Amino acid sequence: MRSLSYTPDGADAFDDPEAAIRAPGTTWVCASGDRAELDRTAERFGIHPLHVEDVVNDVRPKTEVFDEYTFFLAKAARFRVGETTFLEEIRTDPVGVFVGEGWLVTLTTSEVSAVSRVWDRVAGAERRALARGPDFVGYLVLDRIVDDYFALLDEVEDDIESVEELVIEAPDPETLAAINDLRRELLSIRRVVWPTRDAANALYRGDANHVAEATEKYYRDVYDHLVQVVELTETYRDLTSGARDIYLNTVSQSTNEVMRKLTVVSAVLLPLTFVAGLFGMNFATMPELGWPYAYPAVLVGMAGVAAVLVAYFSREEWL
């Protein structure tokens, strides 16, 4: 647990959260860890246990407004190696932000990079950020989380470009698997971004009592960024759908090419098989068999038929 309090005399860090609560000015308490640690922090600020449970259970992002505080839950997203595979998968970390009268509490189940970076800024070069109120620092946390969404989509965009090249150059089953992986990643991002957009919408409309009117425009900016993230996500989903369609069309075209060539071979062999079968019948009376030049004549005829058919199919561009 970390605590930071800002007064007109400056910003001070506290190891004891009780001292931070008693200190005048705006206080930010950042707690992460197990449920017991989160419950102790929530109890000090009168935060309802159900809201702590929302953070622990990783429910969908949302905003709830109460007389005592405003609570919004966001999810920080990042790539990391999966538990059952060496491939990178999208993982989310819930971040509960509670804005009260003169205090801000952030609850996380583990260390979240976005929160830590904002903490370092506020505790370092931007200490006056706390002077603008806890709602403004809450905006900084949410804005940092949303900025990470853009970084995530940049990685996905690079993967899409690589897959689009593979679809044209080497359309194999691994390419299709890569396309499906990208679609799953984008679906995971969509599940996070859509409810976060709705949560940010509730913060800038004036519904939240603990968000000052001067700060609402900043949450409006976050909302606009989330709209952009949603649009990018949908665009990338369309691109992956297009890449999958191109892959399937390429495979289908390749199959058609093989079938066409097999059809040409069958068409060439069919009359030859008929002639061979005709003269291979074991009848006692077959006048042609007594002709001395029958065998070479049949071979020449078969070769001629095959040559004519090959020339025809070549002219029709079937070969």
What is the pLDDT at residue 35?
A: 87
Q: Is the model's pLDDT at 282 over the cut of 80?
A: no
SS3 label, residue 167: helix
Q: Is the model's pLDDT at 78 over the cut of 80?
A: yes
Q: In 3D, which of 2, 11, 35, 34 has the Cα closest to residue 105?
A: 2
Q: In 3D, which of 266, 274, 275, 272 has the Cα closest to residue 313?
A: 266
Q: Report the pLDDT averaged over residues 90-96.
A: 88
For tokens 């969404």, the residue is: 149
* Each residue's pLDDT tens digit, 220-242: 999 999 999 999 999 999 998 88
Lowest mean pLDDT among 81-85, 118-122, 158-162, 180-184: 81-85
Q: Is the model's pLDDT at 83 over the cut of 50?
A: no
CA 120 – CA 146 distance, rounded (Å): 18
Token reading at 276: 């061979």
Report the 10 Å Cβ neighbour count for 131: 14
Domain boundaries, the chain: 2-251, 257-315
Report pTM: 0.76
Contact 82, 207 (CB under 8 A): no
What is the pLDDT at residue 96?
A: 93
Lowest mean pLDDT among 17-26, 97-106, 200-209: 17-26
**Looking at domain 257-315, which CATH architecture does it have?**
Up-down Bundle (1.20)
Contact 32, 109 (CB under 8 A): yes
Report the 10 Å Cβ neighbour count for 74: 28
CA 194 – CA 149 distance, rounded (Å): 12
CA 220 – CA 64 distance, rounded (Å): 17
Helix axis angle for 173-204 and 134-169, nearest 10°, is 160
Residue 51 C-beta-side C-alpha neighbours within 13 Å: 26
Q: Is the model's pLDDT at 248 over the cut of 90?
A: no
Q: Report the pLDDT averaged over residues 42-47.
A: 88
By DSSP bridging, strand 69-81 and strand 62-65 are antiparallel
* Each residue's pLDDT tens digit, 137-190: 999 999 999 999 998 899 888 888 888 888 877 778 888 888 888 888 888 888
For tokens 């691109």, the residue is: 239
User: What CATH number was assigned to the domain covering residues 2-251?
Assistant: 3.30.460.20
What is the pLDDT at residue 10?
A: 61
Q: Is the model's pLDDT at 19 over the cut of 90?
A: no
CA 310 – CA 299 distance, rounded (Å): 16
| Averaged pLDDT of the chain | 83
Choose between 140 and 313: higher pLDDT: 140
Token reading at 289: 């068999």
Q: Order across the sheet with 103-108: list the strands.
A: 10-14, 2-7, 26-32, 103-108, 88-100, 69-81, 62-65
* The total number of residues written for the chain in this structure: 319
Q: Is the model's pLDDT at 106 over the cut of 80?
A: yes
What is the pLDDT at residue 262?
A: 82
Q: Give the amino acid at 47.
A: I
CA dist list (Å): 84 to 44, 79, 88, 173: 39, 14, 10, 21
Q: Report the pLDDT averaged over residues 61-67.
A: 90
Token reading at 179: 């396309």
Provide the pLDDT confidence category of residue 283 given band limits of 50, 70 and 90.
Answer: low
Residue 134 C-beta-side C-alpha neighbours within 13 Å: 25
What is the pLDDT at residue 230?
A: 92
Q: Is the model's pLDDT at 86 over the cut of 60?
A: no
